[in-house]
Amino acid sequence: MQSHFVLLAVFAVFVSLVFALLSEEDDPRAQLRFGGALFAGFLVAAIVFGWLMYPFPL
């Protein structure tokens, strides 16, 4: 398991899961929506920052 993307995605799953469970939402479906949005946010942010690092390398 050395793929950066897979490691990032698995990390995002864990963090999103815990935050969704800790959220104030009572309804499991609302928790799922919140967790899903968080997970998608992680992936989108990673891809966006990944692309930005081409023109602006650290």
Residues that bind another protein (CB under 8 A): 1-2, 4, 7-8, 10-11, 14-15, 17-18, 21-22, 24, 26-28
Given the complex with another protein, which of 22 and 55 has the nearer CB atom? 22
* Residues 6 or more apart whose Cβ sits within 8 Å of residue 43: 8, 9, 12
Amino acid identity of residue 34, one-letter, is: F
Given the complex with another protein, which of 4 and 57 has the nearer CB atom? 4
d(CA 54, CA 57): 6
Given the complex with another protein, which of 55 and 58 has the nearer CB atom? 58
